[in-house]
Amino acid sequence: MSKATMSTPPVWRTAARLADGREIVYFDETPGRRPLPDGRGLPRPAPECEIRRDPLTGDWIAVTAHRNTRTFLPPAEECPLCPSRDGRLSEIPDPDYDVVVFENRFPSFSAATPDVAPLVDGEPLFVRARGAGRCEVVCFSSDHQASAATLPGGRMSTVIEAWADRTAALSRRDDVAQVAVFENRGEEIGVTLHHPHGQVYGYPYVPARTVRMIERAREHRAATGGELFADVLAAERRAGTRIVRAGEHWTTFVPAAARWPVEAHVTPHRHVPDLASLNPAERAELAVLYRDLLRRCDALYGTPLPYIAVWHQAPVRDGRDDIRLHLQLCSVRRAADKIKYLAGSESGLAAWINDVAPERIAARLREAA
């Protein structure tokens, strides 16, 4: 990848408030934003979020009854993520935007949630707590028909700047233990809005997968003296059979033990704990490689691929030296006309069975360039 690609355009940040007090932040590629007021007259949100610990596994489970009423697959003309236009008021009061982030109206975690009793039914085994934290929506474009894969390179850079900004902001909160950035695309994996967007979650606890990765990283360091993510990346690069594309600062590869029919990781070449810690050159190259991966995925079957893309980041306090920032993109599509459903082995026992060889998917992603 040439040095000519290693620059990031400037981004202007403007914060405002929606009618119900939620924060909205605009990330613009040109200066001069003067946010319009939100004229909807919304009542203050009253989320009811709690977390309960599973006594059999130790995992935290969020319980959020208010989310059952959230918007579900509205027609394009009623999309709440499109700009407000022609008297139709949406979540974004302005008539246009580049990238915008706002607090989720139907959050899984919220600092506004009320206190709860520390035990369910008074039973010591059934521990629970407030579902504090924060959930935000990230809109990638005002164009309802766009997708992350079709964004121009400059817009993807703006999205990355927004991700980094929100990671830093949420990491400063006392009620947040880990920040995760993710995007869901496709009805096959459960999206409720088709507008190109993702989310940022500030979890009040460290999720189970991260806990397990920290444990494995520490076991690996104790046994070998090495850093687990660095050693995995080095092994994948030596083998080469699952590498999709390598740049100066990042490598895209299909992991040797991929769980999903389509799965790819994008990992930086140096240890960085989160998106906010990336330097300008890493951010610039990421905008190229991430968009490249999304376009390869869409070329696999000649139709937009349903996927979940998650940026795994280190917890905000513990494990900063153990978890390296990396993207995990996965899809349930196992063939052009077939979907992988999580059945007894996966859903019941978390024992994954992949019907597609990782080496085969890597080869097809390379060919899809």
Give the residue numbers marked as catalytic.
197
Contact 324, 213 (CB under 8 A): no
Strands (E), the chain: 12-17, 23-28, 50-53, 60-63, 99-103, 128-130, 134-139, 178-185, 197-203, 243-246, 250-253, 262-268, 307-312, 326-331, 333-335, 338-339
Residue by residue, what is the 3-state secondary structure of 261-280?
A: CEEEEEEECCCCCCHHHCCH
* Distance of alpha carbon 135 from alpha carbon 50, whole angstroms: 14
124-127 contact pairs (CB < 8 A, 24+):
125/55, 126/52, 126/53, 126/55, 127/52, 127/53, 127/55
What's the start-to-end Cα distance of the chain, in Å? Answer: 15
